[in-house]
Structure 1
Amino acid sequence: MIRSETIDAYLARLASREPTPGGGAAAALHAAQGAALVAMVARYTTGPKYEQHDELVRRIISASDSLVIEALGLADADESAFQGVIDAYRLPSGTDELRAARTTSIQEALILAAQTPAQLIRLAGTIVELATELFEVANATVISDVAAAADAARAAATTARVNIDINVVAIKDVAARSRLADQTDGLEEKVVLAADSLMGRVRGRILG
């Protein structure tokens, strides 16, 4: 599992000539880092100086810590789901019956594989929302990490979108494709716009 690996071990697997882990897992780790950065900035925004914002900051810490765990879970889920697609393509197809069973398995695996990045885009949006809330009150000495969090979440969302696209084009079930579109269309663009806006605000605050 990715969550229990060392960074060196994970990167070695990512760089190897193996199909998993891949971009989907990397996207989830972008999100995990973004959430962790939000939590870090929030923890630096505690104490007497920030007492009036204590409720907000503690809520953000709790939410961000939970998102780190959720994102790591999605990294593992993405690796598992993509392995399912690979396994389906490897099924035997020597008879009409086997070919039909293989096709069904492939389609089911592709639909399942598209679910994880769909969840990840929503999670990335939540990270940017939390970072935006925190920006208003954040400790100025770590304000650049708010931008880093937003950019990590942005990368998670855009990478997840590409992973949805590559699965959707191979899905033959029109209803399933429509459901995926309903779940995800426009979400990634909202995350990107919100992240870019926050990045601009952070830079404006830093540069005056």
Structure 2
Amino acid sequence: MHDQTIGGYLERLAAREPAPGGGAAAALHAAQGAALLGMVARYTTGEKYAAHAAQIAQITAESDELRDRSLRLAEDDARAFTAVTDAYALPRADDAQKAARSQAIAAALQGAARPPAEVIATAGAITTLAEELLPLANRNVVTDVAAATEAARAAATTARVNVEINLGGIKDEAVRAELVASAASVDALAVRAEAVTDAVRAEIAR
């Protein structure tokens, strides 16, 4: 993911192959949101913003870390989904093979649910950072704070369905409960993202 061109990634996304898919796309939504916040923060520097320099520097560093994390999650998701397809392809000629296949599928589904759950958490962190940056941001690029939160919202809502699709095959109740809670957190996150966008729209409409 780090080294692909955008065109090359989109060719792979459009291809008839299992990965990358929606999970990787969700993570890249998050990466774009984090990158936009980094851009706004870098425009919010200089004498005019000196009173908030330390806070802006921290936001810049955090946005860069979130961008890198999101890219790693895109790669993790592609690997995890490939493991699911590999598990379903295992032989099932006898009872022993069927049992081994079922166990492998359950483990792979649990693994496949992890990256999108982490994308949801990352999208939440991006939204929190946007809320912090919005009142400080250079007003010439304030719409990009809204764009960042919309990207985070898309990341979270897309990742949620990728968590939910794997829940049926997860037998570990503790893991299942953790993933259900992750998915359930998305509605509140989306409301927060929308509030940032609404605030920006109200400002530019004045």
Into which bin does the TM-score normalised by the smaller protein fall?
A: over 0.9
User: Counterpart of 1:17 in structure 2: which amino acid?
Assistant: R
Deviations 1:65-93 (A, max 9, x none): 00110000000000000000000000111
Looking at structure 1, the residues matched to 175 and 195 of structure 2 have their Cα atoms a distance apart, in angstroms, of: 33
Q: Which residue of 1 aligns with 2:189?
A: 191
Identity of aligned residues (%): 51
Gaps of 5+ in 1: none
Looking at structure 1, the residues matched to 175 and 130 of structure 2 have their Cα atoms a distance apart, in angstroms, of: 33
TM-score, normalization: structure 1? 0.96
Q: Which residue of 1 aligns with 2:47?
A: 48
Looking at structure 1, the residues matched to 132 and 152 of structure 2 have their Cα atoms a distance apart, in angstroms, of: 15
Gaps of 5+ in 2: none
Greater shift in the superposed pair: 105-114 or 173-182 = 173-182
Looking at structure 1, the residues matched to 109 and 77 of structure 2 have their Cα atoms a distance apart, in angstroms, of: 11
After superposition, residues 26-175 of structure 1 pair within 5 angstroms as 26-175=25-174
Deviations 1:156-205 (A, max 9, x none): 000000000101123344443223224x1432112101100000001011
TM-score, normalization: structure 2? 0.97
Contact (CA 8 Å) 2:117, 2:183: kept in 1 or not? no
Q: Secondary structure at the match of 1:67?
A: helix
Deviations 1:75-112 (A, max 9, x none): 00000000000000001111100000000000000001
Q: Secondary structure at the match of 2:2?
A: helix
Looking at structure 2, the residues matched to 65 and 132 of structure 1 have their Cα atoms a distance apart, in angstroms, of: 16
Contact (CA 8 Å) 2:160, 2:183: kept in 1 or not? no
Aligned CA-pair RMSD: 1.0
Greater shift in the superposed pair: 147-156 or 164-173 = 164-173
